[in-house]
Chain A
Amino acid sequence: MSDVVEKTLSALPGLFDNVTQTGAAKITSGLKQLIRSITELTSKHEEEKLMKQELSAMKEQVSSPNTSMKQMREVMVRAMYCEMLGYDASFTYIHAIKLAQQGSVLEKRVGYLAVSLFLTEGHELLLLLVNTVLKDLQSTNLIEVCMALTVVAQVFPKDMIPAVLPLVEDKLSHPKEIIRRKAVLALYKFYLIAPNQVQHIHAKFRKALCDKDPGVMTSSLHIYLQLIRESPDGYKDLTGSFVAIMKQVVGGKLPMDFYYHNVPAPWLQIQLLRILSLLGREDQSTSEQMYEVLDESLRRAEMNHNITYAILYECVKAIYTIHPKAELLEKAARCIGNFVLSPKINLKYLGLKALTYVVQHDAKLALQHQMTIIECLDHSDFTIKRETLELLFRITNAQNVTVIVEKMLDFLRGCGDEHTVIHLVGKVAELAEKFAPDNSWFIQTMSDVFSIGGDSLQQDVPNNFLRLLAEGSECKEEDDELRLFAVDSYLTVLKGDASHLPQHFLQVMSWVLGEYSHLQECVDQREVIRLLAKLLDQRSVSSETRVWILSALTKISEGQTDLILELAESLSSSQDTVLRQQAQELRHLSRDSQLQECVLPRGAPWDSMEVDSSLSFLDGFVSEALAAGAAPYKPPHQRQEELSEERALNLEPYSFSLPVSLSSCSITDRQSPPLLSVSSGLSGNSTELSQKEGSSTLILEGVRRVWGKDGYLPQKETAATAPPVDEPSIAVHPSGQQEVAERIETQPEPSTRNQDKQQLASSLFVGLGTQSSISLLGKSEAPPPRFRKKPRPHESSSSSSGTSERSSDSSSRSSRTTTDSFLYGSLLEEEPVTSTSTTTNGLSQNKHTEGDRRANTSQILGSDMVIVRPNTIQDRHPPSASSDLTALLPSEIKDLPHSDVISLTSDPSLSLASCRMFRDEALLLVIFICNCTDTVIKDVAVQLTCEELETASLRGNVVDCLEGKSTSVCHYALLMDEPHTNVSFTGTVSYQTQPGHTNTLPFSGTLSTVDFIRPLVVTTEEYGKLWLSLSHDVKQNLKLLTDAGGDPLKTTLNALKDALQLHVVDIIGSEGIVACRLLSGAPCLLHCRVNGSALAMWLRSPHPSLPDCILYHCQRALAEH
């Protein structure tokens, strides 16, 4: 290739001569001069000198008032070149903006280019650009509009989007398709940066999707891909349209402009395939719509060109993602064969990737290509090798784990890329934990992992390993054997040269030695102490590791007072204060054996440690501080939002008022803290406190949530509640292994394959046969996560015992129970009922006795309702005699589960009562309007307002004529979008007793989140997958109910299930998983784990405040129990 460079270089002078003759070249001649001088230079030093001169000359030029725009443009091009070479030309930035602002079109173009190259999204000068962009967006010159749209998509940050959004939106209906296309892409970019700011234009996206220009439609698919990725369910109705578009494209209906190397719109095809695979995933009926077109695009893409392979690859992926169809799968599998067997290395690479994706569904495919895989394993290309290992990782089982892990470790030893090492080392650790055949192999592999992984290793690898050692399994002997083995092997390591070992490894070793070296009787404890003390002296050991080592020494110091005192003495002059303190503690402990026994009881069960994660002991301190005038705590996200509000800029131009305020409005909306605070997550006693003392309630609420954040929790606590469902497992059925082995043997063996490879193959692909059929049915992208991390490393098959324990209440969806007690309590306290004797339809005017009432309630509510109703409330509030009202419900909703009827308010003419009915998709608030008089009441109209809730539908809110002693029913279907702990609604009823004389009767009431929660029925596998995809989590320790005899976990979960509408997915051992959803669809997953006498609850949801809400209700439910 060097001759090409020489040729071009020799042509250089001629080139200049040519260009300098044309007029355009004069302008950039400064640049050409610069480039020429740079190429003539021989050293970096000379270049720097030249650039210094050049930059100072430019500086002078830009600051001179005589420089014309034209010259400025030339300077700007030079400045771009300097910046590309890595020299700072920031003094020109402001001039770039000026050029874009004031220049003519061609200067503008350079100005905008310079701006987009110089100013990244956060740059403060960008603000100066807003006006220019606004002006250009409204220009009649197409080129100016194009330039403005380009720069908007390139550099505009989140807080500047509102300023231009309305104008960009307008461009969606521009007559020129190029403008529409750019506008759609700019909106796509906005969507990526700030999705909620473009929420209101979703309807216009649909318009773009239906645009007559295929280019605009293609651009809109970018947005749809994102939207569908986030919530595929919302867009199933578009499947037909996407399939139709795909059919047209594949069928060659597009104009020739959209062809690329004779393939019709490949980019469009691939985008559609991705969208279809997202839509068809785990959805049989949707998938069925697309089989035909997938088949066709497989068939059509037969030309031997990269672009057809790109389409094929996406096609195969789509076929394996959607609901399976045998015929298509077969074709796709054949297609993968074409990739894998291709001599072109790029295709081989993609083939490996496709296999990696596909073996999760059908492991047999890996068997077909085993020889290719083996060849790729020894390939000289690093990328191919790595991809092969990814593939092997997916097909690992208990039989081939040793070979595969060995291959991975070999690769890692020769790999220099830190990121790859971290990535793969994690996988090795995962495999080792899951499939380790025996103790010695496991410990040895983990040692390799720690020494290869180095200090960049992810923290959870050592954490998981130590947890595994510490928690142990049911069989104590086996645990001790493993621990003993670890102690032995680490002692050997430490006796050698330990100076090069990574810190993580040293920390693990010191912890293990501290905890378990007493198990090894033939080792002198003094020897262990000496080895650890030797580490302390090494300079390469970090101070964090020193703390680990000292903790270990503290644990084994018993009886070795002389050595320890000596050590403590030497450390007491250390510069590190933490070390000094630990040394001091060490000295005290070693002098006082009683204290030592108390602080560090040997052999105490690991999980007996109790951590008060709610920090309730600080409540008193906090209330004192608050009383003394301290500011209440605000959670970080709230602080962040407030901060951003302060910083928010007013980008509204003074001249015209755009609907900019709309977005800023939505920001302030979100700002107002959700109502969830009332002791959300307060420990039991402080809840009571907050209820009793009206004044301090408010303040306490604010404070509490801080501590719930895990940042404040001690490290141990986090480890204890570490993710239980983070580990996928492949079900292994040893019965199938022989069959597969036979199959391998009986395969025809061409003589070219050498013996070694055959052996390797049989060791790599053993045990792959049977899983295939199972996982094909499962059709899950990741292997089903194991519910609970098995403490025993060498137990390969997953929790078979656990599944048998599965609680059988998956059908609990239908049973609806209410937590009326406290809700009603608070409701009635807030809203004292003025009239206790309400007349109902002339039927029951007398007060029910308590016994009557009970009978009534149970009769009305049917068998699946449980009403918890403390006597106190009933005593205080005489029954409102309205329970018979439920008989008046319209027939279509009569059978729904509902709460009992409570009286809202009344006046001499009307009395109002309400009842909540729980529909699957909404909450029905039923309002009974009873005419208490004997005369007719006219024009009764109900109006209900609630800011936090959304009214989906209403019925019967206007009644023309209400007869005397009769009742009218109106009902509202309500939805809750943002979770709030409690929501209050207000409303008025207006009516006319005499013509022209309108009375109004106000009423109000409260609803709770619980009313809007429904059980979410999922399987354990779905739960595991969902769990990993959710982002917002909250952890908290709750009270564990211990009823007579029963399993406390089950009792507690049942209590919660009854109080809130939850679905108990599974209970395995000491852990239970529970799922529910908000009516709007946001799921919330709860993971409960018995931790001593507490229930460690971990909630996850896509919604930031939903876990808090649910946690609050769980706490209240348990407190009331």
Chain B
Amino acid sequence: MMHFLLLFSRQGKLRLQKWFLPLPERERKKIVKDMTTMVLARKPRTCNFMHWKDLKIVYKRYASLYFCCGLENQDNELLALEILHRYVELLDKYFGNVCELDIIFNFEKAYFILDEFLMGGEIQETSKQSIAKSVEASDMLQETMEEYMSKPAF
């Protein structure tokens, strides 16, 4: 089971955080700090896995963003890498050639996509199409409501 998922920039700025287990605020801050320093200190051509306390850390860099997640000991690291990859694919499909700025300015959308993809630290839906469909369904609703609201009331 995944414990957390963090997205941060090369400068160590947090872009997205998802916690699947309840942790006190202080602990969360410590994890974020530790993860950014540890991951950013990794040299090129090292593997994408690390140990942190009793968790396994799997991270991967996509352009200027680092995707980093904490796993339990029995979880499969390669599979986690693919989870990260699938998430990037989903973002890519939604935003169309996603870049860091998309996620900065539309971080709530990134969260919505994540909520359709993972739930309680486990994969909920692996199909790209289904996820896109359910995110779009909510978005569509949003659009129509938007139009409806912006119409002048006679």
Contact = CB atoms under 8 A, between A and B. Distances in A.
A222 B119 CA distance: 11
B141 interface: yes
Contacts of B86: 260
A35 B45 contact: no
A23 interface: yes
Contacts of A109: 112, 138, 142
27 contacts: A1-B10, A23-B147, A31-B105, A80-B107, A80-B108, A84-B14, A84-B15, A105-B141, A105-B142, A105-B145, A120-B25, A122-B22, A150-B119, A153-B119, A182-B119, A260-B82, A260-B86, A270-B76, A309-B78, A310-B82, A345-B46, A349-B77, A350-B78, A380-B46, A383-B46, A383-B51, A420-B51
B81 to A, nearest CB: 6
A346 B77 contact: yes
Given A8-B64, A19-B105, A383-B49, 15 more contacts: A1-B63, A8-B99, A86-B29, A106-B142, A109-B112, A109-B142, A117-B111, A143-B137, A182-B119, A219-B122, A258-B126, A260-B82, A267-B79, A310-B78, A345-B45
A188 B127 contact: no
Interface in B2-59: 10, 14-17, 19-20, 22-25, 29, 43, 45-54
A850 interface: no
A635 interface: no
A188 B122 contact: yes
B78 A178 contact: no
B70 to A, nearest CB: 13
B34 to A, nearest CB: 10
A419 B53 contact: yes
A408 interface: no
Nearest to A157: B22
Considering the complex of A and B, which 9 residue pairs feature the smallest CB-CB distances, nearest first? A121-B22, A310-B78, A189-B120, A381-B46, A257-B127, A345-B47, A106-B142, A185-B119, A310-B79
A110 B25 CA distance: 21
Interface string A8-26: 1001100100010001100
B130 A186 contact: no
Interface in A371-389: 380-384, 386
Greatest chain A CB density within 10 A among B50, B78, B127 is at: B78
Nearest to A141: B141
Interface in A614-652: none
Contacts of A150: 115, 119
A727 interface: no
Contact of B120 (A86, A153, A215, A386): A153
A262 B150 CA distance: 45
Interface in A140-191: 143, 146, 150, 153-155, 157, 178, 181-182, 185-186, 188-189
Contact of B47 (A189, A192, A219, A348): A348
A5 B46 contact: no
A485 interface: no
B153 interface: no
B101 A15 contact: yes
A70 B149 contact: yes
A136 to B, nearest CB: 14
B10 A5 contact: yes
Given A257-B129, A257-B130, A314 B76 contact: yes
Contacts of A185: 119-120, 122, 124
A1063 B129 CA distance: 59
A77 interface: yes
A599 interface: no
B124 A77 contact: no
A219 B138 CA distance: 23
Interface residues of B, number: 65
A465 interface: no
A104 B46 CA distance: 48
A81 interface: yes
Contact of B17 (A84, A309, A384): A84
B13 to A, nearest CB: 8
Contacts of A307: 78-79, 82
Contacts of B127: 215, 257-258
B64 A270 contact: no
B47 to A, nearest CB: 4
Contacts of B74: 274
Contact of B108 (A12, A77, A346, A417): A77
Contact of B22 (A120, A153, A306, A314): A120
B51 A313 contact: no
Contacts of B104: 35
A534 B145 CA distance: 80
Contacts of B43: 380-381
A1 B14 CA distance: 18
Contacts of B64: 1, 4-5, 8
A85 interface: yes
A155 B64 CA distance: 31
B125 interface: yes
Interface in A106-121: 106, 109-110, 113, 117, 120-121
Nearest to A1: B64
A469 B17 CA distance: 50
A346 B134 CA distance: 34
Nearest to A314: B76
A181 B124 contact: yes
A141 B77 CA distance: 38
A328 B53 CA distance: 35
B125 A383 contact: no
A346 B42 CA distance: 14
Contacts of A267: 79, 123, 126
Given A35-B104, A113-B112, A346 B14 contact: no
Contacts of B108: 77, 80, 110, 113
Contacts of B112: 109, 113
Contact of B49 (A143, A157, A219, A349): A349
A222 B122 contact: yes
A386 B119 CA distance: 32
A383 B82 contact: no
A265 interface: yes
A85 B63 CA distance: 21
B52 to A, nearest CB: 7
A313 B48 CA distance: 17
A154 B21 CA distance: 8
A313 B45 CA distance: 22
A417 B54 CA distance: 12
A81 B122 contact: no
Given A120-B24, A346-B49, A266 B141 contact: no
Contacts of A384: 46-47
Interface string A343-360: 001101110000000000
Interface string B66-83: 000000001011110110
A386 B123 CA distance: 29
B75 to A, nearest CB: 10
Interface in A48-107: 70, 77, 80-81, 84-86, 104-106
Interface string A262-274: 0001110010001
Contacts of B53: 419
A157 B21 CA distance: 11
Contacts of A417: 51
Interface string A176-217: 001001100110110010000000000000000000000100
Contacts of B79: 266-267, 270, 307, 310
A8 B101 contact: yes
Contacts of A154: 20, 120
A32 interface: yes
Contacts of B1: 192
A274 to B, nearest CB: 8
B50 to A, nearest CB: 5
Contacts of A257: 127, 129-130
Given A143-B137, A260-B126, A265-B126, A313 B47 contact: no
